[in-house]
Amino acid sequence: MKTKVLKVDEDNIDREIIKQASEIIKNGGLVSFPTETVYGLGANGLDSDATSKIFEAKGRPQDNPLILHISSEDELKELVREISDDARKCMDAFWPGPLTIIFNRSEIVPDSVTAGLDTVAIRMPSNKIALEIIRESKKPIAAPSANTSGKPSPTAAEHVYKDLDGKLELIVDGGRTGIGLESTVIDLTEDVPTILRPGGVTYEDLSKVLGRVEIDKSIINFTENIVPKSPGQKYKHYAPNSEMYIFKGEFKSVVDRINEIAIEKTQNGKKVGIMCTDESLDKYKAGLIYSMGSREDEDSIAHNLFHILREMDRENVDIILSESVDFSEMGLAIMNRMIKAAGGKIEQL
């Protein structure tokens, strides 16, 4: 299959391209489109044959359910059994936006979307291109991140092309995504609202709206073997090709330790990649040095994280050494992705 790439400006949307994209969706094909978080790989969410193509294209395990994307609240009713008070509060506060809510599913949601679970994940993105494609398709769009399973999620159309060229009909290129990490996933089907995946809507944001909120233990405890409640969280994820190590502790100790390893590895002929922050950019003495963003603005770090992991692959580095951030606010989502990318290799200094 030949994969087409068409550019669309979010502030001046070309209706012809939206129509092309939704024709493909209606005909059971695959289209990648930008959302405010990462690029999605979309198919008609009510058509099992179409959604099975998503699993095939990504090499995604069959037991990992998909998120349904909607463009208005009217589209929600037929997909869920009820809308609880907590769900109503979350929708009012955070939709459209980077929050995926787990509801009890209705009969019309295919098993292929929920991986046989009795629940369904739903989100209303805020990206205007995404909203227009959903609206024009007149169907909920099932869309995981548009990467090969296990790789960092795509934050630019080039990333989608690199992973999936020939496996989908169209990539709608809307430029780099804003947030850069996938949506927060919150389960509202249990007694206490539980965050299954941290993201752009933070624990602190959700607590203000809902009161008591729990965080699934597997997100913050990576030393013990806890089975995550969200099927997707148990797989190796976001992994660059090379070994990655994270360093946590007092700023100067972290810089010194990374320098020590970078110098030694470089002397031994290895290509070292360093992931630092604006505040430490001029402190490193060896390696290929990338700033993820400013410690004063963790959103900038989230925005750049996956992009830099992919740059590291492009540069064919042998080892990646990364600074870390605190586990609060956006930092929780950043550290969750980083630790997975590093396969849990974090050194406390």
Considering the complex, what minimum distance in angstroms separates the CB of residue 287 from Mg ion?
Answer: 29
Residue 304 binds to ligand TXA (criterion: CB under 6 A): no
Residue 184 is encoded by which pair of tokens?
Answer: 């927060």
Number of residues that bind ligand TXA (CB under 6 A): 29
Residue 46 is encoded by which pair of tokens?
Answer: 């009510």
x-marked contacts with Mg ion along 279-318 as a string, rule CB under 5 A = ----------------------------------------
Residue 178 binds to ligand TXA (criterion: CB under 6 A): no
Residue 145 binds to Mg ion (criterion: CB under 5 A): yes
Considering the complex, what minimum distance in angstroms separates the CB of residue 237 from Mg ion?
Answer: 7
**Contact predicate 237/150, CB 8 Å:** yes
All residues at 6 or more sequence positions from 27 whose CB lies less than 8 Å from its CB, including other chains: none
The residue from 20, 183, 218, 291 that contacts ligand TXA (CB under 6 A) is: 183
Considering the complex, what minimum distance in angstroms separates the CB of residue 300 from ligand TXA?
Answer: 18
Other beta carbons within 10 Å of 56? 10
Q: What is the DSSP string of 310-341?
A: HHHHHTT-SEEEE----SSTHHHHHHHHHHHH
Choice between 127 and 145, CB closer to Mg ion: 145
Q: What is the DSSP string of 76-95?
A: TGGGBS---HHHHHHHHHH-
**CA distances in angstroms from 85 to 57, 82, 198, 206, listed in the order given:** 37, 10, 22, 14
Site for ligand TXA in 237-296 (CB under 6 A): none
Contact set with Mg ion (CB under 5 A): 145
Contact set with ligand TXA (CB under 6 A): 35, 37-38, 40, 64-67, 100, 102, 114, 117, 119-121, 123, 125, 143-145, 182-183, 185, 196-197, 230-233
